[in-house]
Amino acid sequence: MSPFRRKLRIAVVILIASILLDLALLALWMGTRGDSLSLTRASESRTDQNIDHQTLKLAASCGYVYFAWVHSHTHSPFVREHAHAAHWDYDHSPRDPGDFEPPEGDEPKWLTRIGVSANSDSATQTVGVAPTIITLNYSWRWVAFDCRLLLAIGLALTVIAVWRFRRARRPWKRLKLGLCPACGYDIRATPDRCPECGSVTNPSATADARG
Ligand SMILES: [Zn+2]
């Protein structure tokens, strides 16, 4: 396969992938303005005197995409067993479109305006008296992106992909017409080397382009 054809093929694959991404983001935005989707992974590990609980959540709601992490660590002298368990959970529930609440976080104002918000918090709690004190450490953070922002980024990537595709197609089209792939000069009489710009054309690429 000639380098021109390989470049063109890569450009086509990138262009198709970018259009599919845009369609997926558009569907996500339209579909989650009134609905809420979430994929959760919850896991718990117990070792001597310790319980670790971790929840990872990927969700879309109100036209926003969320990532959330919740972690809690309990230190308790009563924990004896060793165990680890994890499970996935998928939830799809309708929302009342009236209770639209864009997330608010700690981020600077300009980030909120372009559709990004983030927040985090942590707390420590102790229960009981020595020597049987139970300590609970709790922390969570989340980040949310407006689907319209993601869609705008996706569309910008598609514009770049279209530009790349057109650039990759140009030498290919020129070769097909018997022109120099670099400058467009007629090289039908001198197919190996362009008399105008001196660029050397691989004969296999010419044959490839002409089919
Ligand atoms: Zn040339």
CA-closest candidate to residue 58, choices 46, 40, 45: 40
Distance CA 170, CA 188 (A): 17
Q: How far is the CA of 155 from the centre of ligand 1 (A)?
A: 34
Tokens 């919740």 — which residue? 70
Q: What is the pLDDT of residues 174-205, one digit of tens each?
A: 888 889 988 989 988 888 888 989 888 776 77
Tokens standing for residue 197: 């710009």
Alpha helices in the chain (DSSP H): 3-31, 109-114, 147-176, 203-210
Mean pLDDT of the chain: 88
C-alpha of residue 183 to centroid of ligand 1, in Å: 4
Per-range mean pLDDT, top range of 28-37, 94-103, 129-138, 144-153:
144-153
Output the CA 181–ligand 1 centroid distance in Å: 7
**199 CA distance to ligand 1 middle (Å):** 6
* Distance from Cα 196 to the centre of ligand 1, integer Å: 5
Global pTM reads 0.72
Centre of ligand 1 from the C-alpha of residue 161, in Å: 26
pLDDT confidence tier of residue 95, bands split at 50, 70 and 90: confident
pLDDT at residue 55 in the model:
96
Q: How confident is the model at residue 1 (pLDDT cuts 50, 70, 90)?
A: low
For residue 193, how far is its CA from the centre of ligand 1 (angstroms)?
Answer: 8
Taking the centre of ligand 1 as the mean of its atom positions, its distance from the CA of residue 39, in whole angstroms, is 55
pLDDT for the residue 15 = 96
CA–centroid distance, 160 to ligand 1, in Å, is 26
Q: Which of 184, 206, 203, 208 is nearest to 195 (CA)?
A: 184
How many A from CA of 178 to the centre of ligand 1? 11
Query: pLDDT tens across 155-173, in order?
Result: 999 999 999 999 989 988 8
pLDDT bucket at 42, cuts 50 / 70 / 90? very high
3-state helix, strand, coil in the chain (%, to 5): 35, 35, 30
Res 22: pLDDT = 96
Residue 209 has pLDDT above 90, yes or no: no
**From ligand 1's centre to the CA of 200, what distance in Å?**
8
Grade residue 74 by pLDDT with cuts at 50, 70 and 90.
very high
Q: What is the pLDDT of residue 153?
A: 95
Say how many Å lie between the CA of residue 202 and the centre of ligand 1: 13
Q: What pLDDT sits at residue 154?
A: 95
Q: b/e string for 84-97 if b means 16 or more Cβ within 10 A? A: eeeeeeeeeeeeee
Separation of CA 186 and ligand 1 centre (Å): 8
Distance 124 CA to ligand 1 centre (A): 71
179: which DSSP letter?
Answer: B
